[in-house]
Chains A and B, each alone.
Chain A
Amino acid sequence: MHLFLVGISHRTATVELRERIDFQTRGLGTALQALQARNIAREAVVLSTCNRSELYGVGDDLSVARGALVQFLSDYHGVTRAELEPHIYSVAGTDVARHAFRVAAGLDSLVVGEPQILGQVKEAHGAAALAHTSGPLLNRLFHSSFGVGKRVRTETGLGSGAVSISFAAVALAKKIFGDLKGRSVLVVGAGEMGKLTALHMKSQGVQQVTIVSRTMASAVRTAEAIGGATAAPWEDLLAQLSAADIVISATGAAAPILKKAQVDSVMRPRRNRPLFIIDIAMPRDVEAAAGEIEQVFLYNVDDLRTTVEENLARRANEVHRAESIVAEEVDKFASWLRSRSAVPIVVSLRQRFDAVRRTELDRLTVGLPPEMRERVDDITRLLVEKLLLTPTEQLKAIGDADLVNSYAEALTRVFNLNTQAAGDAAEEAPRPDTVRAGRRKVEPFVRPQKR
Chain B
Amino acid sequence: MNFVPLALYVAALVAYVWHFAARQPAIGRAATTLLVFGALAHTFVVGMQTMEAGHVPVTNAASAISTTVWLLTLAYLYTEMSTDERAMGAFILPLAVVLQSIAAFNPGVEDRAELLQGPLFGVHVSSLLFAYASFALAGVIGLTYVLLFKEIKAKHLGFFYARLPSLQVLDTMNYRAVVIGWVFLTVGLLVGFVWMGNTPSYDPRLQAMSLDDPKIFVALCCWLIYSFEALAARALGWGGRRSAYLSALGFMIVLLNFVPVSYFLTTSHNF
Contacts and interface: CB of A to CB of B under 8 A. Distances in A.
B27 to A, nearest CB: 12
Contact of A178 (B155, B157, B168): B168
Interface string B142-185: 00000010001101010001100111110000000000000000
B259 to A, nearest CB: 33
Given A178-B169, A274-B167, A295 B240 contact: yes
A272 B165 contact: no
B241 interface: yes
A155 B240 CA distance: 34
Contacts of A274: 167-168, 240
Interface in B15-43: 23-25
A268 to B, nearest CB: 7
A271 interface: yes
B205 interface: no
Interface stretch (A65-73, A169-177, A378-386): A169-177
Contact of B152 (A155, A161, A175, A178): A175
A177 B24 contact: no
B204 interface: no
Contact residues of B: prevailing secondary structure: loop
B238 interface: yes
B239 A272 contact: yes
A177 B237 contact: no
Interface string A281-325: 000000000010011010100010011001000000000000000
Given A175-B161, A294-B241, A303-B155, A155 B166 contact: no
Contacts of B237: 267-268, 270-272
Contacts of A157: 23
Contact of B153 (A174, A177, A297): A297
Nearest to B158: A310
Nearest to A175: B166
Given A172-B152, A271-B234, A297-B152, A178 B166 contact: yes
Contacts of B161: 175
Given A271-B235, A271-B239, A294-B241, A299 B167 contact: no
B238 A177 contact: no
A176 B168 CA distance: 6
Given A271-B239, A272-B240, A294-B241, A176 B166 contact: yes
B153 to A, nearest CB: 7
A155 B27 CA distance: 12
Given A175-B166, A176-B168, A307 B239 contact: no
Contact of A306 (B153, B155, B169, B240): B155
Contacts of A161: 162
A175 B241 CA distance: 15
Interface residues of A, number: 28
A160 interface: yes
Given A303-B155, A307-B157, A174 B239 contact: no
A307 to B, nearest CB: 5
Nearest to B166: A178
Contacts of B240: 272, 274, 294-295
A274 B235 CA distance: 14
A175 B167 contact: yes
A155 B25 CA distance: 8
A154 interface: yes
Contacts of B153: 291, 297
Contacts of B155: 299, 303, 306-307
Contacts of B25: 154
A132 B130 CA distance: 62
A42 interface: no
Contacts of B168: 176-179, 274
A273 interface: yes
Contacts of A295: 239-241
Contacts of A267: 237
Contacts of B157: 172, 307, 310
Contacts of B167: 175-178, 274
Nearest to A272: B237
A303 B148 CA distance: 17
A371 B234 CA distance: 82
A342 B153 CA distance: 63
B233 to A, nearest CB: 10
Contacts of A154: 25
A310 B157 CA distance: 9
B45 to A, nearest CB: 37
Contact of B166 (A174, A271, A272): A174
Contacts of A272: 237-240
A303 B176 CA distance: 33
A297 B155 CA distance: 9
Nearest to B155: A303
A287 to B, nearest CB: 16
Contacts of A303: 155
A154 B22 CA distance: 11
Contacts of B148: 175
Q: Which of B23, B168, B239, B241 has the most CB of A within 10 A?
A: B168
Q: Which of A175, A272, A295, A306 has the most CB of B within 10 A?
A: A175
Interface string A172-205: 1011111100000000000000000000000000
A351 to B, nearest CB: 44
A91 B59 CA distance: 76
Contacts of A271: 234-237, 239
Contacts of A273: 239
Contacts of B23: 157
Nearest to B239: A272
A155 B23 CA distance: 9
Given A178-B165, A178-B168, A271-B234, A155 B24 contact: yes
Given A176-B167, A178-B167, 13 more contacts: A155-B24, A157-B23, A160-B162, A172-B152, A175-B148, A176-B166, A178-B165, A272-B239, A272-B240, A274-B167, A274-B240, A291-B153, A299-B155
Interface of A: 154-155, 157, 160-161, 172, 174-179, 267-268, 270-274, 291, 294-295, 297, 299, 303, 306-307, 310
Closest 9 CB pairs of A and B: A272-B237, A178-B168, A178-B166, A271-B237, A303-B155, A178-B169, A177-B168, A175-B166, A307-B157
Interface of B: 23-25, 148, 152-153, 155, 157, 161-162, 165-169, 234-242
6 contacts: A154-B25, A172-B152, A175-B167, A178-B167, A178-B169, A272-B240
